[in-house]
Chains A and B, each alone.
Chain A
């Protein structure tokens, strides 16, 4: 297809898209006046049914919890696919990796990054555990936790990613989180007859231990998301790390690595 034809097609498509958008935006409610009933219904129902002031968490983990289960498994599958691809490539390439030292990051990067790893981990735990009381929850908290790993890497690439231990640990975290959330959905089905329905004591609204299954679900999602994102990053980084280790170092690493991986 020649350039002119392509440009013509693109212009026609863009014009059609633009016209449709203008019509659609013209038919919208005024800014800030969403007419749907669900928000109002949930706002009335949630405090009594779930002893919970955080409507978003209650919606995501109970009223549309089945969707969340699907999203959870999407992330799980995506991480598995990513890891499988990267490992396949590594095995194909074998161990003829160029060995050269990576330059150490600047002092500023090491100092700031190193100082932030701990606080970032605490923040992640806070966001996950308070997901049913304040904005946040398992997903954001989990990603923040995985961000701590990236920080540690940026702070000086000698992250002791002991290949066997750390990867197995991340895999386990991902699996436990996903399995825990699925078990929560199943528990509702078995105990009260509906997926993601609450089957734990509700407690007093606003307390840390309240709202029944919601904090448990947040915890499961947090562990799963942190494990999945950290696993993807670690698989990427590990290859980068491997290539940058001195010869003697990575041959011993490889030997230790292959066995538990099969």
Chain B
């Protein structure tokens, strides 16, 4: 395991913990997006660029956006 891979693994573990510890859903969506980016860096560091690209698309675009949209929906429903 190279130093880069070790760094990426630790970053994923640390940011993953941060996602769990963030209690406000709005912030959690943003932190989850950063977690997705860290995960894609890990995939890139183990030479899986295809998976890394899909991970960026899903982890950093789709998941946070869908969470935000769903939250807007819930807020609108509450009103």
Interface residues of A (CB under 8 A from B): 31-32, 56-57, 98, 127, 135-137, 139-140, 143-144, 146-147, 150, 229, 232-233, 236-237, 239-240, 243
Contact = CB atoms under 8 A, between A and B. Distances in A.
A226 to B, nearest CB: 11
Contact of A140 (B53, B69, B70, B72): B53
A137 B57 contact: no
Contacts of B61: 143-144, 146-147, 150
Contacts of B52: 135
B57 A143 contact: yes
A243 B54 CA distance: 33
Given A32-B1, A140-B56, A143-B62, 19 more contacts: A31-B1, A56-B50, A98-B79, A135-B52, A135-B53, A137-B50, A139-B54, A140-B53, A140-B54, A140-B57, A143-B61, A144-B57, A147-B57, A147-B61, A150-B61, A150-B65, A229-B62, A237-B69, A240-B72
B25 interface: no
Q: For the complex, would chain B's binding face be called helix, strand, loop or mixed by DSSP majority? A: helix
A146 to B, nearest CB: 8
List the 7 closest pairs (A to B, CB-CB), nearest first: A143-B57, A135-B49, A236-B69, A140-B53, A56-B50, A135-B50, A140-B57
B29 to A, nearest CB: 13
Q: For the complex, would chain A's binding face be called helix, strand, loop or mixed by DSSP majority? A: helix
Contacts, number: 51
A56 B53 CA distance: 12
Contact of B66 (A57, A135, A232, A243): A232
B23 interface: no
B76 interface: yes
Nearest to A145: B57
19 contacts: A32-B46, A57-B50, A98-B79, A127-B53, A136-B50, A137-B50, A140-B56, A140-B57, A143-B61, A143-B62, A147-B61, A150-B65, A229-B62, A232-B66, A233-B66, A236-B70, A236-B72, A239-B73, A240-B76
Contact of B76 (A31, A229, A232, A243): A243
B52 to A, nearest CB: 8
Nearest to B52: A135
B17 to A, nearest CB: 16
Contacts of A233: 65-66, 69
Nearest to B77: A89
Contacts of B46: 32
B16 to A, nearest CB: 15
A58 B52 CA distance: 17
Given A135-B49, A136-B50, A150-B65, A143 B72 contact: no
B15 interface: no
Contacts of B56: 140
Nearest to A86: B73
B73 A236 contact: yes
A19 B55 CA distance: 29
